Structure 1
Amino acid sequence: MEITRSFFALLLVLSCVIAIPNAIAQTESDKKTYTIGTYLLNVGKIDLQNGAYDLDFYIWIKSDDANFIETKPKIEFMNGKATVEPITVEKNYYEARVKGIFQKNMDFRNYPFEKILLTVEIEGTEDMKSFEFVPDLEESGVDDLVNIPGWNLQSTNSDVTIHKYSDDSEYSRYVFSLEMERFPLSSFLKTMLPVIIITTIAMLAFWMSPTNFTARIGLGASTLLAAVAAHLNAANQLPPIGYLTLFDKIMIIAYALFLNNLLSMVIQMRLIDHKREEEAVKVNAKMRKAIPVICVLIFLALFLV
């Protein structure tokens, strides 16, 4: 009797060992695989204030595990809204043209020389247990006629990530991304150069006679207003952000130089009012020599600390 029980127990263990791999294999075989690709046709308006951009592209899906004639691919655009116009629908192949507005958080720390990343993020409606994407790296890309005014397209990439939600469910997510940067020379000429010229003009006051109050103060005040206007104009192109951009740091250095300039004028005016012109000339020379020191100290504080 004991031998019989042992025999049946052994059979039960063996059946479990055999059944587990079969169950796993069955689960894997039931898992759908979509090979997905994207071909960009056009980039429309890029709204930096809202982190939004218009895209026009083709998308296709290949799968031996689906019948697209009976059921369209169950996918969602996770970072935007789009209209989908089917072009080719076959049993194992689905192609459509997509036009929509997408959104992405952008990093402006290096403004006006920043790089931005535009993405299209697509996710299936089924979790990783039954569905996954595979990127079509060979055919995905960008049309040669794509032109993005003010931006230089650096690279494109197609990738698949796993997105995990708060309930621990995992979904396959396809991400098509475009990395772009501003044209450096154009950005410098339009943004940095005016501020450099304005600040240089303001510093010319140090080479004017300390007794020429009206001209010096007029020069300092007018150039300061011009610098503030340039700063505000640049800031209005960006969304409200909680960090300093490269341009903000340059402007802080410029404001420090303006402060040094105006403070020097006030001290010299008081000295001249008390008939101490020689001391006023010395103060002017010392404050002028402080210009590079101020630039270096603030640069170190902003960029290296």
Structure 2
Amino acid sequence: MKISFTFVIAALSLLSIPALAADAQTVDEQKSYRVGIYLLNVGKIDLHTSSYDLDFYMWVYSEEDDFTKSKPKIEFMNGKATIEPITVEPHYYEARVKGTFLNNLDFHQYPFEQIHLTVEIEGLDEHQSLVLMADPDESGIDKLISIPGWNLVEMTQDILIHDYPDGKEYSRYVFTMTIERFFLSSFLKTLLPIIIITTIAMLAFWMSPANFAPRIGLGASTLLAAVAAHLNAANQLPPVGYLTLLDKIMIIAYALFLNNLLSMVIQMRYVDHDMKDKAVQINARMRKFMPIIVIVIFFSLLII
């Protein structure tokens, strides 16, 4: 019995040796690339197509690969670019890259939105064979970069594992530059005209109900101006399927215009029936109703 037990243990040990050897071989065969990017220039940013032109240095460092024999096994996943090698050494590869890249831009907070300009690099071999790592020490953004109308917020680097429907996983390096619009410039160009137009329209509440023609003319003309301003601002964006911050503000403005025009029509009927005092009461009541409209719609839109 003792001999049989010893024999079983020995047999199990022999069976486990190939598995351990295979695991050790897999670990030994796994390569690592240290990737870095130094951004030089930002060209045209096309909001309609969510594309942007970038010019940057890219480098790859690896102890396992000889880049004088073959290029780094990586590719750009969110754009097309021309690559001009600058330095090619056995374990170091550096190139200048110019290309057009794409990313799903978020316009929920337009005209005060932040957008993320990314460069996504993925290994050609699976994650078990090739791992990408970020180089935080040398990567960055040139201090001379200036993007008209935009302010630089931050630069980040991330390493992700991207999986595909066939079950394969690949290591991905993501370089992200976050930019935002200048608040004062966006406010003056986009929101201030709408605020002024809406305020002018609301002045009709302080006019006599008997002056129906001037009041209705004021309300209708300012409504058309508000719609034109809204369309002009919205045309700067692609056809998104959600409400932006500007859209929500315009919904409040349109509600005020509706309240204004509806009040005028009711007052006109009372004036036509020689009930001017009643018309004055309706005018005062609808004027006091304006802040309630703003508050109710504002909190309703917060839920959306």
The equivalent residue for 2:90 is 91
Could you list the per-position Cα deviations for residues 169-192 of structure 1 after superposition, in whole angstroms to 9, with x for gaps in the alignment? 100000000111111111111111
Q: In the TM superposition, what is the alpha-carbon distance from 1:159 to its structure 2 partner?
A: 1.3
| 1:36 and 2:44 aligned | no
Mapping of 1:1-305 within 5 angstroms? 9-304=8-303
Q: In the TM superposition, what is the alpha-carbon distance from 1:144 to its structure 2 partner?
A: 0.5
Amino acid at match of 1:190: K
Count the aligned residue pairs: 304
Quick one: percent identity of the two aligned structures? 63
Q: In the TM superposition, what is the alpha-carbon distance from 1:155 to its structure 2 partner?
A: 0.6
Q: In the TM superposition, what is the alpha-carbon distance from 1:19 to its structure 2 partner?
A: 3.8
Q: Secondary structure at the match of 1:71?
A: coil
TM-score (norm 1): 0.96
Q: Secondary structure at the match of 2:289?
A: helix
Aligned partners of 1:129, 1:304: CA distance in 2, in Å? Answer: 44
Q: In the TM superposition, what is the alpha-carbon distance from 1:275 to its structure 2 partner?
A: 1.3
Q: In the TM superposition, what is the alpha-carbon distance from 1:264 to its structure 2 partner?
A: 0.9
Amino acid at match of 1:12: A
Amino acid at match of 1:199: T
Aligned partners of 2:151, 2:194: CA distance in 1, in Å? Answer: 24
Amino acid at match of 2:223: L
Amino acid at match of 2:64: D
Q: In the TM superposition, what is the alpha-carbon distance from 1:234 to its structure 2 partner?
A: 1.1
Amino acid at match of 2:42: V
Q: In the TM superposition, what is the alpha-carbon distance from 1:20 to its structure 2 partner?
A: 3.0
Aligned partners of 1:89, 1:297: CA distance in 2, in Å? Answer: 64
Q: In the TM superposition, what is the alpha-carbon distance from 1:214 to its structure 2 partner?
A: 1.8
Q: In the TM superposition, what is the alpha-carbon distance from 1:23 to its structure 2 partner?
A: 2.4
Q: In the TM superposition, what is the alpha-carbon distance from 1:268 to its structure 2 partner?
A: 1.2
Q: Secondary structure at the match of 1:278?
A: helix
Amino acid at match of 2:54: L
Aligned partners of 2:303, 2:166: CA distance in 1, in Å? Answer: 42
Aligned partners of 2:303, 2:121: CA distance in 1, in Å? Answer: 39
Aligned partners of 1:255, 1:6: CA distance in 2, in Å? Answer: 87
Could you list the per-position Cα deviations for residues 265-289 of structure 1 after superposition, in whole angstroms to 9, with x for gaps in the alignment? 1111111111111111111111111
Q: Secondary structure at the match of 1:29?
A: helix
Q: In the TM superposition, what is the alpha-carbon distance from 1:3 to its structure 2 partner?
A: 7.9
Could you list the per-position Cα deviations for residues 167-216 of structure 1 after superposition, in whole angstroms to 9, with x for gaps in the alignment? 11100000000111111111111111111000000000111111112211
Aligned partners of 1:9, 1:286: CA distance in 2, in Å? Answer: 95
Q: In the TM superposition, what is the alpha-carbon distance from 1:10 to its structure 2 partner?
A: 3.5
Q: In the TM superposition, what is the alpha-carbon distance from 1:243 to its structure 2 partner?
A: 1.1
Q: In the TM superposition, what is the alpha-carbon distance from 1:12 to its structure 2 partner?
A: 2.9
Aligned partners of 1:3, 1:256: CA distance in 2, in Å? Answer: 92
Runs of 4+ more than 4 Å apart: 2-9
Aligned partners of 2:301, 2:68: CA distance in 1, in Å? Answer: 60
